[in-house]
């Protein structure tokens, strides 16, 4: 699958390697925003990535396939 079209579904933000990195925005999402589970769906215009539709929970609970499909509809 093309990376631009990949849905990112993170079960626990704080357990991911990027959380341990120096990326302040990603750490702030978890630390200040309280994000624990996170899904990002690409927004495309043709083959160009123009943004992402993202949602998160403040509890560790993965997003279901049904929820991800609904987010994909909004992103489209």
Is the pTM higher than 0.85?
no
- When divided into structural domains, the chain yields a total of 1
Taking the C-alpha atoms of residue 48 and residue 23, their distance in angstroms, rounded to an integer, is 25
CB count, 10 Å around CB of 13?
22
Cα distances (Å, whole numbers) of residue 41 to 5, 22, 49, 67 = 8, 24, 11, 11
CB count, 10 Å around CB of 31?
13
Domain membership of residue 38 as a residue range: 3-75
What confidence tens digit (pLDDT) does each residue in 14-71 have?
888 877 777 787 788 888 888 999 999 999 888 888 999 889 999 999 999 999 999 8
What confidence tens digit (pLDDT) does each residue in 7-24 have?
989 999 888 887 777 778
Instruction: Name the DSSP letter for residue 21.
Output: S
CATH of the domain at 50: 3.30.450.40
Residue whose tokens read 């993965």: 62
């Amino acid at each position: 699958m093309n990376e631009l079209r990949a849905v990112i579904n993170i079960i626990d933000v704080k357990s991911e390697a990027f959380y341990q990195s120096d990326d302040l925005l990603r750490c702030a999402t978890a630390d200040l925003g309280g994000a624990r589970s996170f899904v990002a769906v690409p927004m495309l215009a043709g083959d160009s990535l123009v943004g992402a539709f993202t949602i998160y929970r403040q509890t560790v609970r993965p997003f279901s396939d049904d929820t991800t499909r609904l987010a994909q509809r909004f992103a489209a």
